Structure 1
């Protein structure tokens, strides 16, 4: 099994990278996020590889980080998510965004990825709840929010407040952290509007 490739970038396609390892070029299918992280053609690069072997094919999938590779494998445990959809999700959402979407049960954020409709988005956040922290890549804001909520699962008011703060231009980690601090002080039953208002106060303090 191939677990990692270290070589020279030979060429880059729309969703593939060709890596020259000692004169042998390996084609790896990659997310848009990984392709953007790779250096220019002719420069040294490292890809973490997931190799999928089937009766009619052997295909390599390349990732810029171990966290992204772990997410790829985890996403494909959900019914209806194949390699193409998993790469589309990873092209749209960072590992931190995925952790936030699952912790907050945020179907709308998950649904941003091409090929992920409302039903699949619901299945993803439901089936993966509680699994994301085990593979890391959870930002401090989400950890704080999970701690404040106890079991790490947010109600609609909490996820709506975080989404509203993100829409106002704050980073996901900042928004999650601010709402976590409010929930820790006021409880998780606070109305959405109040959560947003107090969250803004936390962000400005």
Structure 2
């Protein structure tokens, strides 16, 4: 087990770059769509990226819950909650500008009142302020509770959104198994990237 961990630490950067390269390759090879053409490939990446951010925030919340359920390992769970919350924020803040690019390319402009832009932006701003405060105060129990509340609020809030211009389910509503397969492969790789970032942030925090 220790050999495996040392291997991951030694080749962490190469694993990260390899995963990032595979994400770019899968995106470039993804099937085209009749209406959007090659522009749909950014839609695939955009979708996988935002879902990865959502999952990271959700896992941060679950780790926060673990802090309260398993008091003997409170610092362990709080550390993971902090690392996953920061990881989710990284994906979220990089997803937002990608969302603007997708809007510009596919809608011919940016619709600022689109709920699927406006509400995620609000969560992004709140996430920055929250993670900054958690880092400043450095209280494990506060980290756990804050990430739990934020994770629940984000999932519930996004689940209630109504679309204006944004399609309901552009991937799984396409009726194409090939499109769905490429998206799931892309989602798997972005999740793998998220795990690597979270592992790095968690190990970095423990050695500070």
More strand by share: 1
TM-score, length of structure 1 as denominator length: 0.25
Higher helix share: 2
Bigger relative contact order, structure 1 or 2 (CA pairs below 8 A, ≥6 apart): 2
TM-score (norm. length: structure 2): 0.25
Q: Which one has the largest radius of gyration?
A: 1
